Amino acid sequence: MSDQPQFSIKIDQNKYLPEGGREVHAVVSVESTGSPTGVSQPASAAEVIIIDTSGSMSYPDTKLRAAIAAAQVAVDTLRDGVFFAVISGANTAKMVFPQQTTLVRADATTRQQAKQALSRLQAQGGTAIGSWLRLADQLFDAHQEGIRHAILLTDGKNQHETAEELDAVLYRCTGRFVCDCRGVGTDWEVAELRKVSSALLGSIGIVADPQGLVADFQAMTEAAMGKAVADVALRVWTPQTAKLRFVKQVMPTVADLTGKRTESGPQAGDYPLGAWGAESRDYHICVEVPPGEVGKELRAGWVKLVVPGAAGAEDQVLATGNVLVQWTDDEAASTRINPRVAHYTGQAELADAIQQGLQARKDGDEDTATARLGRAVQLAEVAGNDEITSLLRKVVDVVDPATGTVRLKKNVEKADEMSLDTRSTKTVRTRKGEG
């Protein structure tokens, strides 16, 4: 695999538990870097761009025009040879380019044809996101060996299909492609779009001003074109007597992967990490083990980074690491909290506090909203998460960040509230003052 990124795993933890201790926490840092030669062979890739063309996209008409321009820039950003298609989404999904239900290779001709087809889009009808994803999944069906990425843009609520219908489509699509989701304007539901992005291992973002769509689409497409390894998974083995409590991505965003486990062998399960380029991500693992005698040491977890092997071949192991535990009667050793574990525990709590606080504010429960958003301010201050702190200050008046004392603002722009919600899961790597 000399033409692919090189992967490494680093484990941060305090392995010492007091007598009777059960919970082992570790931060697993995964990093991929360029190949030794510095030149990577471009991976096989497929891209589907999904543009909401429901009637609301014409109010104001700058929304649809900006969406068309953004999709055209995304098409221009595709590498030569990448398979792609463009979908128009309303009550049903329709092919914009090509007209047949298939993907075509990107070249000068197909890019120009796609941009011309996009320029003819008109807004009418409703919103049925599940049908859009179902068509994208159909398009990706013949391209399951490479990078598979979709961009989904909407401006409204999923009103023309039931939540159960959307859930069924997401269940079908999970693991088959990655989807970055964007909401334009402020008339869409963050929780609804987060459900899609979470199931499909993508990002979620708000573009309150349609003029920001072009730069955002270009950045998403460039990031997708930079991926080199598809279908990476974190395989976690635990001893027979142990229980894996959770596996969470904690950097660059908080995402709970626990429920995405697929069994991969005796006492081992795989957690999907999606496609990778040259990047780094951190994962928080918690294992519950039966108490051991003082002085006893064991491996509480064995983590491997794996990708599917060729047809009939075993999965390929890219990197490995151990999560260890040892029982001690040294109180100083057993009570020491690993700084990175503590930091990311706070970041996960920060995301929950923001989302719970905003929901309480929406429900009219001002006491709970004040308490949870105050806690969020406190956690963001400790973490040095300046972006979240800035967004929180648009929703609350901060009296004392150290204690989390805040007052709810009476008049809050909806775009500010939604920006805080969509970015609540974005984390920073270290606490303020740490190296």
Output the DSSP codes for 53-105.
Answer: -SGGGGSSTHHHHHHHHHHHHHHHHSPTT-EEEEEEESSSEEEEESSSSS-EE
- Write phi, then psi, for 227 (nearest 5 degrees): -75, 145
**Residue range 181-236, pLDDT digits in tens:** 999 999 999 999 999 999 999 999 999 999 999 999 999 999 999 999 999 999 99
The answer to whether residue 48 scores a pLDDT higher than 60 is yes
Among the listed residues 413, 395, 397, the one whose alpha carbon sits nearest the alpha carbon of residue 405: 397
The answer to whether residue 435 scores a pLDDT higher than 60 is no
Determine the Cα–Cα distance for residues 17 and 335; give it in Å rounded to an integer: 8
Give 40's pLDDT tier (boundaries 50, 70, 90).
Answer: very low
Cβ atoms within 10 A of the Cβ of 215, count?
12
Torsion of CA 257, 49, 143, 313, to 10 degrees: -20
The answer to whether residue 22 scores a pLDDT higher than 60 is yes
Give 5's pLDDT tier (boundaries 50, 70, 90).
Answer: confident
Determine the Cα–Cα distance for residues 146 and 113; give it in Å rounded to an integer: 24
Q: Which amino acid is at 350?
A: L
The answer to whether residue 301 scores a pLDDT higher than 60 is yes
User: What pLDDT score does 430 carry?
Assistant: 67
Mean pLDDT on 159-174: 97
The answer to whether residue 431 scores a pLDDT higher than 60 is no
Q: Which two tokens stand for residue 32?
A: 């991929």
R_g over Cα of the chain: 23
**Residue range 180-192, pLDDT digits in tens:** 999 999 999 999 9
The answer to whether 373 and 395 are in contact (CB under 8 A) is yes
Of residues 59 and 393, more confidently modeled: 393
Among the listed residues 92, 95, 85, 198, the one whose alpha carbon sits nearest the alpha carbon of residue 150: 85
Cβ atoms within 10 A of the Cβ of 172, count?
13
The answer to whether 178 and 150 are in contact (CB under 8 A) is yes
User: What pLDDT score does 1 carry?
Assistant: 40
User: What pLDDT score does 60 carry?
Assistant: 84
Determine the Cα–Cα distance for residues 157 and 160; give it in Å rounded to an integer: 9
Determine the Cα–Cα distance for residues 49 and 221; give it in Å rounded to an integer: 10
The answer to whether residue 39 scores a pLDDT higher than 80 is no
What are the Cα distances from residue 148, in Å, to 5, 119, 131, 221? 18, 25, 18, 12
Give 336's pLDDT tier (boundaries 50, 70, 90).
Answer: very high
The answer to whether 240 and 302 are in contact (CB under 8 A) is no
The answer to whether residue 135 scores a pLDDT higher than 50 is yes
Give 42's pLDDT tier (boundaries 50, 70, 90).
Answer: low
User: What pLDDT score does 37 carry?
Assistant: 38
Among the listed residues 329, 255, 291, 353, the one whose alpha carbon sits nearest the alpha carbon of residue 20: 291
Tell me the pTM. 0.94
The answer to whether residue 294 scores a pLDDT higher than 90 is yes
User: What pLDDT score does 41 carry?
Assistant: 53
Among the listed residues 70, 55, 138, the one whose alpha carbon sits nearest the alpha carbon of residue 100: 138
The answer to whether residue 347 scores a pLDDT higher than 90 is yes
Mean pLDDT on 33-49: 70
**Residue range 78-115, pLDDT digits in tens:** 999 999 999 999 999 999 999 999 999 999 999 999 99
Give 3's pLDDT tier (boundaries 50, 70, 90).
Answer: low
Q: Report H helices in 126-189.
A: 129-140, 163-173
